[in-house]
Amino acid sequence: MPSLKEIEYYLRGIVLLIQGKPQGFGYLDLTDRGMTRSFWAMVWCFPATAISWVWWQTAFLRAYPPGTKTGLPFFLRLAMVEIANWIVPLVLAGLLCLALRLGRRFLAIVVVSNWLAVPLSYLYALIVLIVMFVPGAAGIASLLWLALILLLIFSLIRLLRMICGQQPLIIATLVLVLLVPSMFLSDYLQQYLGVYPA
């Protein structure tokens, strides 16, 4: 598992790439091993993810009659949704890279996508905490959530431009593949697994 210092090193590379500086690649491990290790990002995101799960559980219980119970199976189902949302877009991006003959760049796409998720997940958790503990902050939280989505899109565009070059159509398609499927998949799986607030 990568150490905190390694995570800081990787994130420095991500920031440099977003700034358009090619030296950011030197901070990232873009080998097969590096791609595999980048999935440890899921573990590093877990504390932030757990906060969002607690909030989701609260929303779920509010939507159902008093006495409704949730337990370990509820959180296991949320974990299944989280893993699917993480893996499926990357698989689709891989298929797209094969179709567009960008296979050699797929490793970099996976690495930057995985490590980018770490700071963004904690920013999302901060928004959730605002909703949970600041009365009447739902409107502000919605604006912050929108800003976070825009930040994610902006960051992906900048990162993919560094990886794929000046190819706007390819970059736009990759951004859509990395973001849109998880939105539909999340809603579908939450309803199918019975963890969606009615």
Predicted confidence (pLDDT) per residue in 149-188, tens digit: 999 999 999 999 999 988 999 999 999 999 999 888 998 9
pLDDT confidence of residue 37: 95
pLDDT at 109: 96
Burial profile 50-85: b = 16 or more Cβ within 10 angstroms, e = fewer: ebbbebbbeebbeeeeeeeebeeebbebbeebbebe
Distance, CA of 4 to CA of 7 (rounded, Å): 5
pLDDT band at 81 (very low <50, low <70, confident <90, very high): very high
CA 45/CA 135 separation, integer angstroms: 26
Q: What is the mean pLDDT of residues 69-88?
A: 92
Q: Find the mean pLDDT for residues 42-50.
A: 95
Predicted pLDDT at 135: 83
The pLDDT of residue 13 = 96
pLDDT-based confidence at residue 68 (cuts at 50, 70, 90): confident
- Residues in CB range of 92: below 8 A, 6 or more apart: 177, 181
Can you give the pLDDT at residue 198? 66
Half-sphere exposure of 166 (CA within 13 A, CB side): 0
Q: Give rounded-to-5 percent helix, strand, coil for the chain.
A: 80, 0, 20
Mean pLDDT of 55-70: 84
* CA 120 – CA 5 distance, rounded (Å): 18
Q: How far apart are CA 125 and CA 112, in angstroms?
A: 20
Q: Determine the average pLDDT of the residues in 10-19.
A: 97
- Asked if pLDDT for residue 71 goes beyond 90, the answer is no
pLDDT at 75: 94
Residue 28 or 194, more confident: 28
Helix (H) or strand (E) holding 169: helix 168-192
pTM over 0.75: yes
Tokens, residue 155:
């960051």
For the chain, percent of residues with pLDDT exceeding 70: 99
